[in-house]
Amino acid sequence: MKTFTIFLITFLIATNVVKSQDIYRASSLEMIFSFANVNDNNTRIPVGMRYTAFFHTQQTIHVDFNNSFGVFTGLGIRNIGINTTPDSVYFHGDKTYYKRASVGASVNQLTNVKQRTYTVGLPIALKIGNFDNGWYLFAGGEYEYSFHYKEKVWIDGKKKKYREWFGNEVTQFLPSVFAGVKLRRGIMVNFKWYLQNFMNTKHKADLIEGNTIMQIKPYENLSSQLFYVSVAFTIDNRKPKAKPIDTNPSTKTNPKIDM
């Protein structure tokens, strides 16, 4: 967090020492292909790729110091999550209590689990390239706040869904690092790695089994490292630099000579 704060202060100072025409906005829409390393008590859980195109949007402010070096920050909203097929899972049996389902159980037989959250994030990044030609490399960090959780659990062939605003099933503040390339025609390819567990290992809940109710931490032994590759389409309002006026055009043409 300290490094992130220093980077933010540096960015704000930088925006005050460049010309106004070097500051511009950009908007982007993203397609995310996410993966994860998930382990329960050091036992690896099978994970599937998760593809989402809705709803991801980002507004960024770019500061170009020259044609080759710059920085950007902004605000983005994303839908991120994991798809797993665990041997067992605690799930929301109703709005009050958790229940437990297992693979191969005679009742509550589990087949698949999807857990996702919407986040709002603040990225800060450096970029190096040829801005006039429309391409650059970039790398930076981001903090995202998780504000809407949703889970889908398939049990006994039926899908059970649960939603929650501003809960703590997922780690609420998710720091990450990212790097990528912005190509011509507004195409951007990005790789992001989250630095903390996706699921909140400190989350507490009440479990009901038969007539017994007990408090548990359903993700206490779960390691869930999320990462993804994304393809974005970006539009910016950067003004192309005006070409210098040729004050001596005769040097480029061969004047006719009257005979």
pLDDT at site 56: 93
201 belongs to a structural domain: yes
259 belongs to a structural domain: no
pLDDT at site 29: 94
- Condensed to tens digits (0 to 9), the pLDDT of residues 135-150 reads 999 999 999 999 999 9
Total domains in the chain come to 1
Which residue type sits at 99?
Answer: K
Give the model's confidence band at 36: pLDDT under 50 very low, under 70 low, under 90 confident, else very high: very high
Which residue type sits at 163?
Answer: R
70 belongs to a structural domain: yes
Per-residue pLDDT at 211 exceeds 90: no
C-alpha distances (whole Å) from 178 to each of 25, 127, 146, 221, 258 are 20, 12, 18, 27, 66
Q: In this predicted model, which residue has the larger pLDDT, 21 or 172?
A: 172
**With contact defined as beta carbons under 8 Å apart, do 72 and 78 qualify?**
no
Per-residue pLDDT at 43 exceeds 90: yes
Give the model's confidence band at 167: pLDDT under 50 very low, under 70 low, under 90 confident, else very high: very high
Per-residue pLDDT at 103 exceeds 60: yes
Q: Give the C-alpha separation, 121 to 205, whole Å.
A: 27
Question: Tokens at residue 40, please?
Answer: 């329960």
218 belongs to a structural domain: yes
226 belongs to a structural domain: yes
Give 71's contacts (C-beta < 8 A, 6+ positions apart): 11, 14, 62, 63, 124, 125, 126, 127
Backbone angles phi, psi at 30, to 5 degrees: -125, 145
Question: Tokens at residue 151, please?
Answer: 């889970």
101 belongs to a structural domain: yes
The pTM (predicted TM-score) of the whole model is 0.83
198 belongs to a structural domain: yes
Give the model's confidence band at 253: pLDDT under 50 very low, under 70 low, under 90 confident, else very high: low
As a whole-number percent, the residues of the chain with pLDDT over 90 amount to 68
As a whole-number percent, the residues of the chain with pLDDT over 70 amount to 84
Give the model's confidence band at 242: pLDDT under 50 very low, under 70 low, under 90 confident, else very high: low
SS3 45: coil
Range of the domain at 127: 2-238
**With contact defined as beta carbons under 8 Å apart, do 11 and 124 qualify?**
yes
| Distance from the Cα of residue 71 to its chain's centroid | 18
pLDDT at site 259: 47
40 belongs to a structural domain: yes
